A and B are shown apart, each in its own frame.
Chain A
Amino acid sequence: MKYVDEFRDAELIRKTSEEIHRLVDPNRKYRFMEVCGGHTFSIFRFGIQNLLPGNIELVHGPGCPVCVLPMGRMDDGLTIAQQKNVIFTAFGDVMRVPGRKGSPLELRAKGADIRMIYSPLDALKIAVDHPDRKVVLFAIGFETTAPSTALTLLRARDLNVSNFFVFSNHVLILPAIRAILDSPDMRIDGFLGPGHVSAVIGARPYEFITKHYNKPLVISGFEPLDLLQSILMLVKQLKEGRCEVENQYSRVVPWEGNVPALNAMNKVFEVRPFFEWRGLGFITQSALKLRSEFSQWDAEVHFEVEGVRVTDPKAAQCGEVLKGVLRPHQCKLFGKECTPEHPVGALMVSSEGACAAYYHHVHLRQAVGE
């Protein structure tokens, strides 16, 4: 596959890994946070950590939209799903997110009409095909998926579809990174910048991280060679005393971002004054809601959502894991009450969640006696 196989070239990967080993300072530790859940998934899938020197630790950040979704939002969504005449649609990963009364999959097993979709347009098509039903899209994701939700809403307006509603949980990546940087227990030396989000927002918005917080950031692709090259670029920056935003993923990420996508988002969404993030608490101006011109498609307006707040189980330490303070297996519930099959915290739900990835990896860690 073009643009994939080249970035899985064994020889290049070996050479890049050797170069990292050659350049690291053996007398210090490096803690790099990959912000994006897609990176977390790739790091475990390709066994990237095994290719790195022991003094480089990859910290898994808050960039998995499922993982930062507060339980209260899931409960609000499922309350709508259980109303008469509603077809509730959600992306695959959302289907296993636990609310207080179960996950969408569990509710579906009990008879609610909950359908898995692959694109927001699938939900709109269901609405067009079922004019007598109210079709709700449980929209989730960072700037990666927000443009497709926005374009779907613009299409709904153009087609005059009145039985389609969006329950927006879209969040923004920069406030989350800022919250981590402002956290008193933050111990990160550099960031692997998200690939897909950056394809929309570009590279420039990250400059505050290098200028105000003095942390280097390299936007990375998702293939093993991408990740290793990006880690090498971070090591080089630290070695040379530089602190810059660099774009390793330039084949996909334009420096100024994707203007049509940003325009579509701006047409449809406005920034919420504040929004709750699982594990990170309330973050100001960190999420998107529908503008008032689109209120007739806004599920939060149409269904009078209660706005439930649910505190995470006391023993779950998702927040510390998200901020890189704790490693997943150091959480009290890890692997006991909280497993991929019965997730207590959302980091265990998605394949991009740090805890789910660690859960599979922990056998290996034990095997090598770590």
Chain B
Amino acid sequence: MTTTKIHFTDDHIGLAHGAGGKASRRLIEGLLVPYLVDGAPTELNDAAYLDVNGSRLAVTADSFVVKPLVFPGGSIGELAVNGTVNDLAMGGAKSLALLSTLILEAGLATSELEREVAAMARAAQRAGVSVVGGDTKVVEHGKADGMFITTAGIGLTDPRVHLSGQNVRPGDQVILSGPIGDHGITVLLARGELDLEADLTSDTRPLWPFVSALIDAAAPGLRWMRDPTRGGVATALNELARDAKVAVVLDEEAIPVRSTVRGACEILGMDPLHIANEGQFLAIVSPDYADVALESITRTPGGEGARRIGEIQEAPKRVVLARSRYGGTRVVDMLVGDPLPRIC
């Protein structure tokens, strides 16, 4: 038996390790992958692929621990379905079935559980997928925030696409499906810790309709997709820049952000590029397919806000840059820890 090489030196697990940024990546690459994955993967994707009898299956699992359970525009049950089908969609796969595990806290009102199960059912119906099984556990009162949900999904990959950071080339275009930061800021405000109010709802939704249209229109030019959830657009694109050894150069002006999200970020000293989304995705498309790709998304209901936000360049490798409208350029780094507001 070979010795597993571990590169993770943190003594304890902190919230940052689950925030989707640098610490998360260190944990996954430094501790989880060396033990659990055979061989060093060239890139970390939201779904894994299994070739079975000529078909390419995509499998994924995702856990949901959102607090509060319900927030404007969605709830944990809806997230648990959409988040999982979207991870499959980002691999070019239409979901076939889901398994769902509920971890419930003793004392949870049955009405709350029923509300969330009904939300899952509605979301599954909307996404055109069935929940075919799962498991339920109950833990002592105080050991979970009401409920946690883990969902596993299996999907069938469209044979017309093979999505990977390795396919990305200089000149490729970066397309974003719509305004960013809605979900993260909505949940932050729903916690009631800030005396801020905004007319804002989570963007949680299934992404397959857009992906399906995109594949039909631009399959040969479609290189890579990712839904920028925890860690936001900045983290997703930094992972791409690192895996593909390219520069991602964004046109800051072109990135759609609602004024309410922009305002909350200004007040809190956060960057909208670091804020979580649950219903948007990034696609890297070859230049000759960029126009039809964008058009296919904007033509799909709910995709009107899609924009071309930047392009892939040769250098500086492994870096994401943002160009402002007045000529300044900044490096957009991955999220470090949880987004923390500045104090003055």
Contact, CB under 8 Å: A106 / B327? no
For B329, list chain A residues within 8 Å (CB). 47, 50, 364
Q: Fill in one digit per residue for B10-26: 1 if any A CB lies within 8 Å of its CB, else 0.
A: 00111110000011001
Quick one: given A106-B12, A118-B193, are A96 and B344 in contact (CB under 8 Å)? no
For A361, list chain B residues within 8 Å (CB). 330-331
Contact, CB under 8 Å: A367 / B343? no
Return the contact of B344 from the options A110, A145, A366 (Cβ within 8 A): A145
Q: Fill in one digit per residue for A135-148: 1 if any B CB lies within 8 Å of its CB, else 0.
A: 00000111011000
- A118–B341 Cα distance when bound, in Å, is 8
A200 to chain B, nearest CB (A): 11
Q: Which residue of B lies closest to A143 (CB)?
A: B344
Quick one: given A45-B330, A109-B14, A364-B331, are A92 and B341 in contact (CB under 8 Å)? yes
Indicate whether A88 reaches chain B with its CB closer than 8 angstroms: no
- A51–B16 Cα distance when bound, in Å, is 35
Quick one: given A92-B341, A142-B344, are A224 and B328 in contact (CB under 8 Å)? yes
Contact, CB under 8 Å: B193 / A144? no
For A360, list chain B residues within 8 Å (CB). 330-331, 333
Return the contact of B259 from the options A1, A122, A363 (Cβ within 8 A): A1
Question: DSSP majority for the B interface?
Answer: loop
Q: How many residues of A contact B (CB 8 A)?
A: 51
- A360–B335 Cα distance when bound, in Å, is 11
- A285–B72 Cα distance when bound, in Å, is 50
For B263, list chain A residues within 8 Å (CB). 1
Interface size class of B (residues with CB under 8 A): 35 or more
Contact, CB under 8 Å: B333 / A92? no
- A46–B330 Cα distance when bound, in Å, is 7
Determine, out of B41-49, B102-110, B210-218, B315-323, the stretch whose residues face the partner at the interface: B315-323
Which residues in window 90-110 of B have CB below 8 A to A? none
B9 to chain A, nearest CB (A): 9
For A140, list chain B residues within 8 Å (CB). 343
- A122–B341 Cα distance when bound, in Å, is 15
Indicate whether B197 reaches chain A with its CB closer than 8 angstroms: no
B270 to chain A, nearest CB (A): 9
Quick one: given A364-B331, A367-B316, are A13 and B340 in contact (CB under 8 Å)? no
Contact, CB under 8 Å: A364 / B12? no
Q: Fill in one digit per residue for B108-133: 1 if any A CB lies within 8 Å of its CB, else 0.
A: 00000000000000000000000000
Quick one: given A144-B344, A341-B23, are A109 and B13 in contact (CB under 8 Å)? yes
Contact, CB under 8 Å: A118 / B194? yes
Return the contact of A1 from the options B12, B22, B266 (Cβ within 8 A): B266
Quick one: given A105-B14, A109-B14, A367-B319, are A51 and B344 in contact (CB under 8 Å)? no
Q: Which residue of B lies closest to A361 (CB)?
A: B331
Return the contact of A105 from the options B22, B26, B262, B337 (Cβ within 8 A): B337
Contact, CB under 8 Å: A93 / B343? yes
Contact, CB under 8 Å: A141 / B193? no
Indicate whether B269 reaches chain A with its CB closer than 8 angstroms: yes
Indicate whether B300 reaches chain A with its CB closer than 8 angstroms: no
A291 to chain B, nearest CB (A): 23
Which residues in window 259-318 of B have CB below 8 A to A? 259, 262-263, 266, 268-269, 271, 315-316, 318
For A122, list chain B residues within 8 Å (CB). 193
- A13–B326 Cα distance when bound, in Å, is 7
Contact, CB under 8 Å: A105 / B15? yes
B178 to chain A, nearest CB (A): 21
- A41–B13 Cα distance when bound, in Å, is 29
Which residues in window 315-370 of A have CB below 8 A to B? 340-341, 350-352, 360-361, 363-364, 366-367
- A22–B270 Cα distance when bound, in Å, is 35
Indicate whether A95 reaches chain B with its CB closer than 8 angstroms: yes
12 further contact pairs, Cβ within 8 A, besides A92-B340, A93-B340, A363-B318:
A41-B342, A47-B329, A50-B327, A51-B326, A65-B343, A92-B341, A109-B12, A109-B13, A118-B194, A141-B343, A340-B333, A364-B329
* Interchain Cβ contacts under 8 Å between A and B, 15 examples: A1-B263, A10-B326, A37-B344, A45-B271, A47-B328, A47-B329, A65-B344, A91-B343, A93-B342, A141-B343, A144-B344, A340-B333, A361-B330, A364-B330, A364-B331
Chain B interfacial positions (CB closer than 8 Å to A):
12-16, 22-23, 26, 193-194, 247, 259, 262-263, 266, 268-269, 271, 315-316, 318-319, 321, 324-331, 333, 336-337, 340-344
